[in-house]
Structure 1
Amino acid sequence: MPLARRSLMEAAAARFGWRRAYGDITEIDGLLTEQAETAYTGAADHAALATAKNTDVLAVRPGVLDVRGRIFADVLYLEGVLTGARNRGLPTELIERLEDAVDHGHELTVLLADTVRTTAALHAVS
């Protein structure tokens, strides 16, 4: 099924709180590859736009704040997934991977918050 059609179907299902559980590793690997390809397809555009827009330290701040907000929300969602996995007694290896992802996500939000603070500090100096 084409990515656009699957994405539309998945978006519609998500509005009702449904998620598809993929059981086949080949299918999962294909989806992960599609995600990477989609992300990399826009990367050059993002770099060009960021180069044009980010003319000083204050111009960097809104984008970093937006990214931090999205990541923070996703990390809190993953914490819920982790809690559910623990409460249901799911395999230890899965719980450990979720813990790693949650911890890494929190570390990333801290780094991004520090980056935002750096923009303020550098602006104050200039």
Structure 2
Amino acid sequence: MRRTWQALAAFTSPSWSYAHTDPEQLHQVLAEQTAAANREAADHATEAATWNVDELHVQPGVLEVRRDVLTDVHYLEGLLIGARHRGLDPELIERLAAAVDTGHELTVLLADVARATITAPAAGR
């Protein structure tokens, strides 16, 4: 019996993502991702707020988020390089490039936030 990549992925990893060819299915996946993140948002925000008793307590969380964003941006860069190399749709390449640029901008902003956790106490006291 011949198995599709989609079926094999379901056996190997419950969180495996695969390509959708139906715009409605893709819309549903995007909506589910957003809904899941929104459901967890209150817990994440409450937990983060609980730990932030002063500037230095903010730093570990910011560094963790920055690390994760860097990892994701590098993955997006790989997708962009592959899309360019294969001559994929110019609109796709343009949007991937914008996502990569925005990701890099976010890492710079997060680095600035991390630095502010050190300078803020000295400047404010």
> 1:91 and 1:40 mapped to 2: Cα distance?
32
Q: Which runs of 5+ in 1 are unaligned?
A: 1-7
State the TM-score, normalized to the length of structure 1: 0.84
Larger Rg: 2
- Distance in 2 of aligned mates of 1:69 and 1:46: 17
Unaligned runs of 5+ in 2: 1-8
- Give the Cα separation in 2 of the matches to 1:79 and 1:55: 36
Q: CA RMSD in A?
A: 2.0
Q: Kindly tell me the number of residue pairs found equivalent between the two proteins.
A: 116
Contact 1:10–1:19 (Cα < 8 Å) also in 2:
no
Match of 2:121 in 1: 123
- C-alpha distance in structure 1 between counterparts of 2:11 and 2:122, whole Å: 46
Q: CA deviation at 1:124?
A: 3.4
Partner of 1:3: none
After superposing on structure 2, the runs of 4+ consecutive aligned residues of structure 1 that deviate more than 6 Å are: none
| Structure 1 counterpart of 2:10 | 9
Work out the percentage of aligned pairs sharing the same amino acid.
50
Q: 61, 80, 86: which is aligned to 1:63? A: 61
Distance 2:10 2:50 in 1: 35
Q: TM-score, normalised by structure 2?
A: 0.85
Q: Which of 109, 114, 118 is 2:107 aligned to?
A: 109
Q: CA deviation at 1:123?
A: 3.0
